[in-house]
Amino acid sequence: MENDTGPAGKPRSLVRWAITPPQSYAVYFLALVLVAGLSFYVGSLKPKKAVGGPPPVTAPSN
């Protein structure tokens, strides 16, 4: 059981590789860039306008 070389051993070794200090900085930076890029993309989407429907209601002015 100590020498896992099957499919379960790959993710574990990848995580072990990713958390070592030189690579962890790159992994953190990559995650930061992905989150910032995704946030920018989602923020730049335009909401769809409703087709048809009732016009907006305005309050009577006194």
Q: Is residue 13 part of a domain?
A: yes
Instruction: Take residue 39 and report the two structure tokens written for it.
Output: 């946030």
- Say if 61 falls within a structural domain: no
Our count of domains for the chain comes to 1
pLDDT score at 5: 58
What angle (nearest 5°) sits at the alpha carbon of residue 20, between those of residues 14 and 21? 145
9, amino acid identity: G
Q: Is residue 39 part of a domain?
A: yes
Mean pLDDT per 10-residue segment, the chain (62 residues): 62 88 93 96 83 72 66
